[in-house]
Amino acid sequence: MDEGIEMLDLSMDLGERQMVVHPTVVYDSDGYVLVDTGMPGFAQKIKDLIEQSGIPASEPRAIILTHQDIDHIGSLPQFLAESRSPIDVYIHENDKPYLDGEKPFIKLRSERKRAILQSLPEKQRSAFEHAFSASTPSVVSHPLKDEERLPFAGGLTVIHTPGHTPGHISLYHEPSQTLIAGDALVVQDGQLLGPNPANTRIWKQRFGRCINSRISRLKPLFVIMAAPLIIMQTSA
């Protein structure tokens, strides 16, 4: 199978509301790598979407997380618990302590976490608690650094884009000239902007100019954003 990239349209029914996010898959003849995993409880739906997109059904060989937020890491424990073989997990080194239970998740208040966990079947709830507990080994096999190049699907370059979280990364897929922006960018009135200020808090000042200059240097042809603002073709 030739290398390629596929954006998934993951619509999640969360009881009180619907949420759409865009996990992304890059693939080559060695298998596929999943970028982000949606909310807890959606691993099977993600696998179904991957299969529907024509990528042969199997387990991901690796999972890369753009950052620590619950709508990106949520189904990671389920993927790990259900896989027959170990899955390598990548996240930026600055967001790793939150996954390891050394620090509380930045935006997940304990009441919301409790409500989310209560809504899950017992097996998934214990997988979640086990994965992110300080008393179990880290789920992260590979803490990432800025400008690291990962040998997946013809090459993925890590771009540290702190602001939304301290360890937020974007990924640049060289063969397709696609930037997987995670939550680092939003589109407003047809313009690419930095992260939503409401979700950015104290990292805002450090962020602004850095991402704009780096992205304009890359000149991506496509930008995939995690939020429901779909793929955008740039005027490269």
Residue nearest to Zn ion (CB): 69
Partners of residue 62 on adjacent β-strands: 33, 88
What distance in Å separates the CA atoms of residue 86 and residue 224, rounded to the nearest whole number? 28
Q: How many residues does the chain have?
A: 236
CB nearer to Zn ion: pick between 50 and 227: 227
User: Which one of 84-92, 124-132, 134-142, 177-185 is the stretch in contact with Zn ion (CB under 5 A)?
Assistant: 177-185
List binders of Zn ion among 96-125 (CB under 5 A).
Answer: none
CB nearer to Zn ion: pick between 69 and 95: 69
Of 234, 153, 55, 30, nearest to 47 by C-alpha is 55
Rounded to 5 degrees, what angle do the CA atoms 132, 134, 136 make? 75
CB nearer to Zn ion: pick between 55 and 179: 179
Q: Which amino acid, one-letter code, is at 183?
A: D
Which token pair is 47? 């696998």
List binders of Zn ion among 65-94 (CB under 5 A).
Answer: 69
CB nearer to Zn ion: pick between 81 and 108: 108
* CA 170 to mean position of chain CA atoms: 9
CB of 227 to Zn ion, least distance (A): 8
The 178-197 site mask, x for binding Zn ion (CB under 5 A), equals -----x--------------
CB of 212 to Zn ion, least distance (A): 19
By CB under 5 A, the count of residues binding Zn ion is 2
Q: Is residue 167 within 8 Å of 68, Cβ to Cβ?
A: yes
CB of 182 to Zn ion, least distance (A): 7
CB nearer to Zn ion: pick between 47 and 67: 67
CB under 8 Å to 95, separation ≥6 — which residues? 65, 67, 68, 165, 166, 167, 168
Q: Name the site residues for Zn ion (rule: CB under 5 A).
A: 69, 183
